[in-house]
Amino acid sequence: MTIATLGTVVLDCPDPLALAGFYAQVLGGEVREDSDDWVTLTGAPGAPLAFQAAPGLVPPAWPASEGSQQFHLDLRVPDLDVAEKGLLALGAVPLDATDRNRSFRVYADPAGHPFCLCAE
């Protein structure tokens, strides 16, 4: 028996509208500005994402040697090289992407949250 179901994954960030726009370009969907401090990405496949204003946010460290990474998203893609090129053009930053033989690579979104590109 489960206790709950996953509702929405919420990312704290300095600029919710900008970060929602980044993920809309990565995952699809539409950006809905619910309030000055809350933006939702609607219509994208998978778990819903929302973005909450956190003006003093300090991005997590990668690797977690200086603290906790808190959490990260795994994004599945058919071609790591093609996806990487698109993400870098959108402002993602490589954190651990030099091993080209692995099935995943680690990046940070424009607000500093780590995420992985994972080969399908």
Which residue is listed with tokens 């990046």? 107
Encode pLDDT of 12-61 as tens digits: 999 999 999 999 999 999 999 999 999 999 999 988 999 999 988 888 77
Q: Prior bond to 63 cis, omega within 30?
A: yes
Domain 1-57 annotated CATH 3.10.20.30: no
Q: Dig out the tokens for 79 from the structure.
A: 């071609």
Encode pLDDT of 59-70 as tens digits: 877 776 555 667
Assigned CATH topology for domain 58-120: 2,3-Dihydroxybiphenyl 1,2-Dioxygenase; domain 1 (3.10.180)
Examine the pLDDT at 118 and tell me if it is beyond 70: yes
Residue ranges per domain, the chain? 1-57, 58-120
Q: Treating both helix axes as pointing N-terminal to C-terminal, what angle do 16-27 and 80-90 enclose, rounded to 10 degrees?
A: 150
Q: Dig out the tokens for 23 from the structure.
A: 């993920």
pTM, entire model: 0.83
- The answer to whether the beta carbons of residues 97 and 84 sit under 8 Å apart is yes
Mean pLDDT in residue range 80-96: 95
